[in-house]
Chain A
């Protein structure tokens, strides 16, 4: 079995107009940049995207906005994107905001075959509008529905050709759940290793969830907010 494809362009070639896509990452951390850039080259339109953020202007998913590929987006925080702001205000893009834990759990549920679940997040707020509220143990909870997608584009640190994945530090974020919740999951890995090199106890996404893989082009990791301490001299 070998899930590794030659290029990101081949990996995204069948993503067509109107597809629903999950894209991993938190801010610019743990984002499948090569796959996004290949998708922008192919440029399918009328996409529905599910991702915590929407990149920043001119970077990551921000590139998809510039190319006019996205009709609707579901996420939890989109504060770093002026283009998205103007598109939402002009009615060019339908934005659905969910509490971040609800977004994560809805994707997890989608991958685990659970159609809906109850959470306390958002009770009594705008998020509750149109949703069933039920009381358990004297407390109110909202019914939230699972999320699934046609494709998930995820970013991992190491992977083998069987599709087993390991993530690095906080670049894990939404990637493992998204890998489980799409019909076709495409993983972009920084380093391809031989089957057996990854310790089975440490594998975070078992290969069954991953249909295709590519090896990322070497690139410097972008830091959104560089914060540091000055060294004593």
Chain B
């Protein structure tokens, strides 16, 4: 299975019936493909839409009906539209249960960097800073390491921050990690992955719950 698919499938398990959810671009968008059919989850798109449906059938695309990634989408029964100010009032006001975003770096304090690399062109943060500052629960769904195999889960983010102490959960192709006041707690390993392997690719020392049996020096 594709690494991105592993991450998206696991992130989908964090959904609960009745949740209102905002999904970021990339792997987070894929999460909607794996929500169980008997579960009612309503997707919010910050450009002003609650109740985002799948991509339209070929030929049915509507330029007035897009998601925050500017992709053509469809309505579902009960979809509503609103302005950008209303959309972010919904987000800032804590009415969205769960937000799933990608990241370039996350650190042990739950700080998140995902919007700019110094020296490269600044594209802008879009809605990411509003979403991370106000989501009731924020999941980072990302590959565990950079393309060069370097850790993305760090002691301290080196890139400019998107939000301060905002991440609750990190889901990668290797593990599920919760951000706690004591530090990063390894909560779950993906099939065939060892705790030692996860730790070797993670900069901060992970907290191992009883039963993981990792003995690390």
Contact = CB atoms under 8 A, between A and B. Distances in A.
Interface stretch (A9-17, A40-48, A119-127): A119-127
B163 A26 contact: no
Contacts of A102: 129-130
A108 interface: yes
Contact of A124 (B45, B56, B85, B161): B161
B121 A97 contact: no
Interface stretch (A60-68, A193-201, A216-224): A216-224
B71 interface: yes
Contacts of A123: 133, 163-164
Contacts of B91: 101
A173 interface: yes
B160 A126 contact: yes
A97 B67 CA distance: 21
Given A78-B124, A85-B121, A104 B64 contact: no
Interface in B61-93: 61-73, 75, 81-85, 87-89, 91-92
A76 interface: yes
Nearest to A103: B84
Contacts of B209: none
B54 A173 contact: no
Contacts of A105: 85, 88-89, 92
Contact of B124 (A29, A79, A173, A229): A79
Contact of B64 (A85, A88, A89, A169): A169
Interface residues of A, number: 57
A56 to B, nearest CB: 10
B83 A177 contact: yes
Contacts of B126: 76-77, 100
Given A29-B70, A101-B92, A229-B54, A172 B121 contact: no
Contacts of B92: 101, 105, 119-121
B61 A226 contact: yes
B136 to A, nearest CB: 13
Given A170-B49, A223-B72, A124 B163 contact: yes
A127 B133 CA distance: 13
B65 A121 contact: no
B123 interface: yes
Nearest to B84: A104
A36 B159 CA distance: 37
Interface in B82-132: 82-85, 87-89, 91-92, 111, 121-130
A229 B58 contact: yes
Contact of B61 (A28, A95, A228): A228
B130 A88 contact: no
A223 B63 contact: yes
B55 interface: yes
B60 interface: yes
Contacts of B72: 223, 225-228
Contact of A99 (B67, B121, B129): B129
Given A77-B125, A225-B70, A121 B63 contact: no
Nearest to A157: B64
15 contacts: A78-B123, A88-B122, A97-B124, A101-B84, A101-B87, A101-B130, A121-B130, A124-B161, A125-B161, A170-B81, A174-B83, A177-B84, A223-B61, A226-B72, A231-B59
The 3 closest A-B pairs by CB, nearest first: A221-B63, A101-B88, A124-B164
